[in-house]
Chain A
């Protein structure tokens, strides 16, 4: 007689697939959740940096300087923003996040001289006061959009799409639409908020160019204008963003997180950060705009190694969202009974959409939110950003670089054929880049 564990199971209809079909049949709704992709994808882990030896000369770890500063918006803006480190905090809305989380992110980022970004729903007073360098998003929904906030920010980011749901609009479920969030967005409290996927007043790159001019006119050409896109066809989208007049392109890979969207979107739309970055850099180089139009890459950046590899591939800066929330305490092993109540556990929670965040980050519930101490959260953000920077510097010095931006593709090798093809760097131990001629 066969034991239960040795019974043959279908690879196509695995137990997880059967469970999902049963759930869909019972509930009649697609699955909505937060966080980002759960399945394995090619990533920066598939690349390694080639430290110096005899053919290259390393820098001394504690004595020789490796600069980290970056200036964003040098193309047209009168007042580009200057960051001490090339790691920024990605756009996340007040609404998706509680106010304490926004304050902690702002305070921690400001402590190390970098920027934070607003999100769908507008700019809160707390966020403005905590963030010395604040990027204000212009989204399709225009929820809470206010020209006074355009004047008050340091840079403007037109959001065309994001990596978790390229081509889709935002979503904030009713349990997070409190009176304050509703008032900021001019919505009835408690409804499931839908966001448009297209902007209301422009429809293509030619329109976008005029839209950018409008934003520049309103702010007297002072502020850098970023354009954020999800990674699907980055070669074309980056070139069109440049043509439309962007100062900075923000490219969000498939691993980028979200507060809430359909799971089918998170797992099945867009391309991973690795190939998207390579295509974006090539697109800028084709136009002669690499390093003139700055490129910020996001989507699954977790460590200083990721930062160093992204910069070596040609990014000017990176942006972090999920990793920053984890630094704040997301998925931490506290209040475990509240994770269980959500049907999850620390380390596996992706229930941002429920508004019942056990650690008080992605919630509007005052009791839950009180679990996040702003000063402690800011300290953790500052520490995390500092560690990312020091790790990236460590690797850059080992490659003989006196500035993080001196890292280059020649400093990289790939550990898999797939990663070599996607990143456009040689497979380790060879001079072979799949898809490119050796000569």
Chain B
């Protein structure tokens, strides 16, 4: 286990060491102490390493992550795991706005709640939120899955493409072109599998399924009120 104390070292030094890891590196387990809300911790990792961060982090923690497993033992600021490509990012607490924004792959688990725009422009990432999400979550979501065990704020799934959303609690309102869809047995199994992988206990049968009505896919005057 390699320990990096950010009270004595810098984010730059930490990231530089993580970026210089090679596929054959022996330094597979890292622990980051005293993050103190610093921004850009563990950005741009490309190797299969485990990074445990003991405390709260600021913006863009684990941004553009590929392959690595990053666990935040605290809360996370804006843009957690933004544009994640692969790997796993887990937050034990809450995450601020734009969590997993534009994520193209991988898995993001927020054990607490997430702020506004969770999963905005998501492009393939799977997101499980143990609590609730704020307004405009999954806005323009293109691909991937957003699972919300609590409630969802206003305009969920606004201007949605092909991302799928599952919410156990109430939804304040659906955004433009987002509709409720049938909760098929395949969907139940898909949700159950992701919950299991996230380590979050919830009954998959309680979730409701939301997706795109595809009315905005081609410009048409009859749908002008949706724009």
Contact = CB atoms under 8 A, between A and B. Distances in A.
Interface of A: 27-29, 141-142, 145-147, 150, 174, 185-188, 191-192, 194, 196, 200-202, 207, 210-211, 213-214, 217-221
Contacts of B120: 200-201
A210 B78 CA distance: 10
B39 A218 contact: no
A214 B40 contact: yes
Interface of B: prevailing SS: loop
Interface residues of B, number: 42
Contacts of B101: 142, 200-201
Shortest 4 CB-CB contacts between residues of A and residues of B: A28-B221, A218-B44, A142-B102, A147-B64
B66 A214 contact: no
A210 B39 contact: yes
Contacts of B29: none
B161 A187 contact: yes
B217 A191 contact: yes
Q: Which of A145, A174, A186, A196: most chain B CB closer than 10 A? A: A186
A28 B120 CA distance: 30
Given A142-B121, A202-B78, A217 B44 contact: yes
Contacts, number: 103
Contacts of B197: none
A12 B64 CA distance: 54
Given A186-B143, A200-B101, A211 B60 contact: yes
A201 B60 contact: yes
B60 A196 contact: no
B58 A210 contact: yes
Contacts of A194: 140, 159, 216
Interface in B60-96: 60, 63-64, 66, 78-79, 82-83, 85
Given A29-B221, A194-B216, A201-B78, A186 B64 contact: no
Given A174-B217, A186-B123, A187-B142, 18 more contacts: A27-B221, A28-B221, A142-B121, A142-B123, A146-B85, A185-B142, A186-B143, A192-B218, A192-B219, A194-B216, A201-B101, A207-B59, A210-B78, A217-B15, A217-B40, A219-B44, A220-B15, A220-B19
Contacts of A141: 121, 140
B219 A200 contact: no
Contacts of A29: 219, 221
A267 to B, nearest CB: 20
B117 interface: yes
B102 A210 contact: no
Q: Which of A141, A147, A211, A213: most chain B CB closer than 10 A? A: A147
8 contacts: A145-B104, A146-B104, A188-B217, A191-B161, A200-B117, A202-B79, A210-B59, A218-B15
B143 A142 contact: no
Contacts of A188: 161-162, 217
Contacts of A202: 78-79, 98
Nearest to B58: A210
A200 B98 CA distance: 7
B161 A217 contact: no
Interface of A: prevailing SS: loop
A76 to B, nearest CB: 13
A201 B79 contact: yes
B219 A213 contact: no
Given A142-B102, A186-B123, A210 B85 contact: no
A362 B83 CA distance: 29
A196 B140 contact: yes
Contacts of A221: 12
A214 B63 contact: yes
Q: Which of B12, B79, B121: most chain A CB closer than 10 A? A: B121
Contacts of A213: 39-40
Contact of B39 (A146, A201, A214): A214
A213 B44 CA distance: 12
B189 to A, nearest CB: 24
B85 A147 contact: yes
A217 B19 CA distance: 10
A272 to B, nearest CB: 29
B46 to A, nearest CB: 8
A188 B102 CA distance: 16
B212 to A, nearest CB: 10
A239 B57 CA distance: 29
B43 interface: yes
A187 B218 CA distance: 13
Given A201-B101, A213-B40, A217-B40, A145 B83 contact: yes
A142 B162 CA distance: 16
B102 A201 contact: yes
Contacts of B117: 200
Given A142-B102, A191-B218, A192-B217, A218 B43 contact: yes
Given A145-B83, A147-B83, A214-B39, A186 B104 contact: yes
A19 B190 CA distance: 54
Contact of A147 (B44, B123, B218): B44
B11 A217 contact: yes
B161 A174 contact: no
Contacts of B85: 146-147
Q: Which of B66, B120, B216, B219: most chain A CB closer than 10 A? A: B219
A207 B78 contact: yes
Nearest to B227: A194
A27 B219 CA distance: 12
A416 to B, nearest CB: 40
A187 B221 CA distance: 22
B124 interface: yes
A210 B40 contact: yes
Contacts of A201: 60, 78-79, 82, 98, 101-102, 120
